[in-house]
Amino acid sequence: MINLIKTDIKSIKLLEYIIMIPFVFILAFLVNPGFEYPYYIWIFYFTFGICSSSLDQKRNDNVQPVIISLPISRKNYIGAKYLLPLVWFFLSTIGATIIALLFNWRTDFFEVNLLITSFLLIILLMAIYLPLCLFYRHASFFVPFILIFVLTMLNTTNEIHFIQFHPILLLSIILFYLSYLLSVKIFDRKII
């Protein structure tokens, strides 16, 4: 399963990363014009953007039949797809921390509560997004744009803060696991 995750990470070209970084900064500014919590929004959008890129249907159409033909179970394949957002969140956190430290040597931007909240939001989003991407061909293209539009509109019109901890977010871990089980069950029956 670790090799599948490494393969997914290596499948994204350097140019995609280079394009993603300024795009994510612009989105973080659009969603949060006052830059109240840019560090956490940047982590959220970068993780979501890279996951969307790695789940691109064109990429999966070429690779999926080959991977399934290897001695890897379908459960491990789905497990790798579900672990990938966790790995990207960790790498995005490291990258955002390095960038934040370059702009501000103090660590006053770092709050564990907000980091946990952005992690739970990613888990919640991926619990919904991953099954759509794996089983509905066009979801990997349309869902990110719809999400970005909705989040931008919510934050600019209603003054709703994007990252706020609420205890109900802890249910996203259970939802993520149930989403994984559902995806494994559907993918086992899928003919490739």
DSSP per-residue letters across 13-79: -HHHHHHHHHHHHHHHHHH-TT-SSHHHHHHHHHHHHHHHHHT-HHHHHHHHHHHHHSS--HHHHHH
d(CA 119, CA 85): 10
User: pLDDT per residue over 69-124, tens digit each?
Assistant: 677 888 888 898 899 999 999 998 998 888 778 876 666 667 788 888 889 988 98
Q: Which residue has the higher pLDDT, 41 or 58?
A: 41
pLDDT at residue 152, as a whole number: 63
Q: What percent of the chain has pLDDT over 70?
A: 72
pLDDT at residue 60, as a whole number: 63
pTM: 0.80
* Cα–chain center distance at 107: 25
Range name among 19-23, 39-43, 110-114, 163-167 with the lowest pLDDT average: 163-167
What are the distances in angstroms from CA 140 to CA 40, 90, 150, 156?
A: 23, 22, 16, 25
pLDDT at residue 48, as a whole number: 84
d(CA 146, CA 153): 11
For the chain, give every domain's residue range.
2-189
| Residues comprising the chain, all counted | 192
d(CA 46, CA 145): 14
Q: What percent of the chain has pLDDT over 90?
A: 14
Range name among 62-66, 157-161, 180-184 with the lowest pLDDT average: 157-161
Range name among 6-10, 31-35, 57-61, 180-184 with the lowest pLDDT average: 31-35
d(CA 50, CA 167): 27
**For the chain, what is the radius of gyration of the CA atoms?**
17
pLDDT at residue 74, as a whole number: 82
Q: b/e for 77-115, b at 16 or more Cβ within 10 A?
A: bbbbbbbbbbbbbeebbeebbeebeeeeeeeebeeeebb
Measured in Å, how far apart are the chain's first and last C-alpha atoms? 20
* Cα–chain center distance at 101: 23
